[in-house]
């Protein structure tokens, strides 16, 4: 895994960068209402970024804590041109390290499940699996058309 090239850090809120990043990834972010919710969430949630040498945000993760010992990767996206260069892994590992230091033991993410044929999300699931997230359950939390796969990583 090409980890180490990019440095992820805890950052201030970057809703404009979330909006710009989403716009480069229409295959994953095709529902306008959901996109507006992500941008709104970016105004308040814990924010991790990877910035390039010029300071431009190229990847963002938003994290929730519903309970003391569990974290939720609410949102993650890497700008299209920068995908598959280790930015996503840098974000997840930085959050995981931060969580471990705080006594957080479980890290969950929800994504589109394999019973939906979408190829983009098949790649997304491979990414999470490569980062040690284990498929836990597929639910209809998002309705029957959008099977929701809950994945969990033990920290």
Ligand X SMILES: CC(C)(COP(=O)(O)OP(=O)(O)OC[C@H]1O[C@@H](n2cnc3c(N)ncnc32)[C@H](O)[C@@H]1OP(=O)(O)O)[C@@H](O)C(=O)NCCC(=O)NCCS
The one among 15, 25, 105, 106 contacting ligand X by CB under 6 A: 25
CB of residue 12 to ligand X, shortest distance in Å? 21
Q: How many CB atoms lie within 10 A of CB 77?
A: 24
- What is the crossing angle of helices 15-23 and 32-41, to 10°? 150
The one among 10, 34, 36, 123 contacting ligand X by CB under 6 A: 123
Q: With CB under 6 A as the contact rule, which of the stretches 11-19, 31-39, 40-48, 125-133 interacts with ligand X? A: 125-133
Give me the sign of the Cα torsion angle 138, 139, 145, 149. negative
Query: Which residues in 44-103 contact ligand X (CB under 6 A)?
Result: 76-78, 83-89
List, as one string, the DSSP characters of 87-136.
HHHHHHHHHHHHHHHTT--EEEEEEE-TTS--HHHHHHHHHHHHTT-EEE
CB of residue 139 to ligand X, shortest distance in Å? 15
Query: Which residues in 130-149 contact ligand X (CB under 6 A)?
Result: 130
Residue nearest ligand X (C-beta atom)? 88
What does DSSP say about strands 148-154 and 106-112: parallel, antiparallel, or unpaired? antiparallel
Distances (CA, A) of 19 to 12, 57, 60, 115, 148: 15, 11, 11, 28, 23
CB closer to ligand X, 5 vs 68: 5
The one among 96, 98, 111, 113 contacting ligand X by CB under 6 A: 111
**Residues lying near ligand X in the complex (CB under 6 A):** 1-2, 25, 28, 76-78, 83-89, 111, 123-124, 126-127, 130
């Amino acid at each position: 895994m090409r980890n180490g090239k990019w440095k992820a850090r805890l950052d201030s809120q970057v809703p404009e960068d979330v909006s710009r990043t989403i716009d480069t990834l229409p295959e994953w972010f095709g529902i306008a209402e959901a996109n507006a919710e992500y941008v709104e969430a970016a105004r308040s949630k814990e924010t991790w970024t990877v910035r390039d040498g010029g300071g431009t945000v190229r990847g963002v993760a938003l994290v929730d804590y519903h309970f003391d010992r569990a974290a939720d990767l609410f949102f993650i996206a890497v700008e299209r041109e920068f995908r598959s260069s280790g930015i996503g892994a840098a974000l997840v590992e930085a959050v995981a390290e931060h969580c471990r230091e705080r006594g957080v033991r479980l890290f969950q993410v929800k994504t589109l499940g394999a019973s939906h044929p979408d190829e983009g999300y098949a790649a997304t699931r491979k990414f999470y699996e490569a980062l040690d997230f284990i498929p836990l359950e597929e639910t209809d939390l998002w309705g029957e058309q959008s099977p929701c796969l809950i994945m969990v990583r033990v920290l």
